[in-house]
Amino acid sequence: MRTSDHVAAHGTTDGRLLVGGVPVDRLAERVGSTPFFAYDRALITDRVAEVRAAVPASLRLGYAVKANPMPAVVQHLAGLVDHLDVASAGELAVALDTGCDPGSISFAGPGKTDAELRRAVAAGVTVEVESRTELARLVRTGKELALRPRAAVRVNPSFAVKGSGMRMGGGPQQFGVDAEAIPSLLGEVSEHDVDVVGFHVFAGSQNLSADILVQALEKTVDLVLELAPHVPGTVEYVNLGGGWGIPYFEKDQRLDLAALGSRLTDLVDGRLAPALPEATVVIELGRYLVGEAGLYVTRVVDVKESRGRSYAVVDGGMHHQLAASGNFGQVIRRNYPVALAARATEEPAGPVTVVGCLCTPLDVLGEEVDLPEVEVGDLVAVFQAGAYGLTASPTAFLGHPAPAEVLV
């Protein structure tokens, strides 16, 4: 997708980029400082509605809080989705503060501490168990608290998802229990006071191909149905994962949501529901729901020339938005879409390299980007900043202050 497409998605007035209907330059005055992250409430709402319209009504929509754990964003989404997935005690606290039913919260991730397990069991959320030893610790925690833990087993499948930004299944993994080891694990569960309710399978992230995602979902459903008879009781919960991608780069094509939703309907209503009629089936999305709704806004503090190359130096950088610098998951660095917030529709004057304020050559937000004539004081907007931005970045690096976040 071209930068102009991202500009159009957010909207403009008199050439000024909007977020939540507010011009970004005006929003900067409202926030009071730069840099900052701004998330568009309406774009998040619209994206959830688009997903709802595409997937079967029987499918519960979950939000992976790790994508953007800003409390206001999670609170907003808690009123739109059916399920929240957390990956730490901190995220669990944010999720519980929304007032949602603890039974609609799952807790995933390797390396859960005993303290985190105690908080999860006390809250009554579903713990997605990542190993045999974690299951044993969960059982012990339940005994100590005189509560019966609710657990799902995270499965490390034998297959990986091609074309994913990060592979989280297939081969050796720190995530989940190897699929072939699950029958023996579940065979021991009946001896313990723990309620194993189902499975979580998540094989990869940031995938833009509906065909590849469907192939992975088909294999996931096959695997769940193969493992289901080993659950001591009724299968009540199946988390199919997510991994739906958004377009970051110019040649990226948007995910075909209609095609993916149609095939999901066949899988969920045609196969899972008849075989596991009491199971709640969840699709867990993070980046896909919030990624395109966010902007990272930073101000130009210097403009310089160096041996034929133009540089715009901004007051932000990779310590806030690591992914845009190419140091979070990219093998070959490519530019995120970038625009001048107050002149978003103006014709470019030439290539400019946008760099941050850190003392490292890695701190590049846009290399040789076509922008209008850049001046000191201009606001630079980096798109696709709604997911894995602030909390996925080394904010303490060089001691610069943390940026603000606003939901508009």
* 329 closest CA partner among 206, 216, 213, 242: 206
Considering the entire predicted model, what is its pTM?
A: 0.94
The structural architecture, per CATH, of the domain 69-285 is: Alpha-Beta Barrel (3.20)
- Cβ neighbours of residue 360 closer than 8 Å, sequence gap 6 or more: 318
Q: How far is CA 77 from CA 73, 83, 359, in A?
A: 6, 9, 37
The answer to whether the beta carbons of residues 365 and 317 sit under 8 Å apart is yes
Average pLDDT, the chain: 94
166 in helix, strand or coil?
A: strand
Q: How far apart are CA 17 and CA 103, in angstroms?
A: 40
Range 183-193 average pLDDT: 84
Yes or no: say if 166 and 387 are a contact pair by the CB < 8 Å rule: no
Kindly report the number of other CB atoms within 10 A of residue 111's CB atom: 11
Q: What are the residue ranges of CATH 2.40.37.10 in the chain?
A: 3-39+292-407
- For a pLDDT cut of 90, what percent of the chain falls above it? 88
Among the residue ranges 74-83, 157-166, 213-222, 347-356, the one predicted with the least confidence is 157-166
Instruction: List pLDDT tens digits, range 313-372.
Output: 999 999 999 999 998 878 789 999 999 999 999 999 999 999 999 999 999 999 999 999
- b or e along 263-291 (b: 16 or more beta carbons within 10 Å of the residue's beta carbon)? bbbebbeeebbeebeebbbbbbbbbbbbb
- The structure tokens listed for 296 are 């990272």
Name 83's bridge partners.
Answer: 62
| Residues forming CATH 3.20.20.10 domain(s) in the chain | 69-285
Q: What is the CATH number of domain 3-39+292-407?
A: 2.40.37.10
Alpha carbons within 13 angstroms on the beta-carbon side of residue 134 total 24
| Chain center to CA of 274 | 30
Q: Which residues contact 24 (CB under 8 A, 6 or more apart)?
A: 16, 17, 18, 38, 295, 297, 341, 342, 379, 381
**Token output for 391:** 């909390």
Q: Cis link prior to 35 (omega < 30° from 0)?
A: yes
Alpha carbons 289 and 286: distance in angstroms, whole number:
6
Q: Which two tokens stand for residue 193?
A: 């006071």
pLDDT of residue 167: 53
pLDDT of residue 329: 76
Q: Please report where in the chains the tokens 């310089």 appear, as a residue.
A: 304
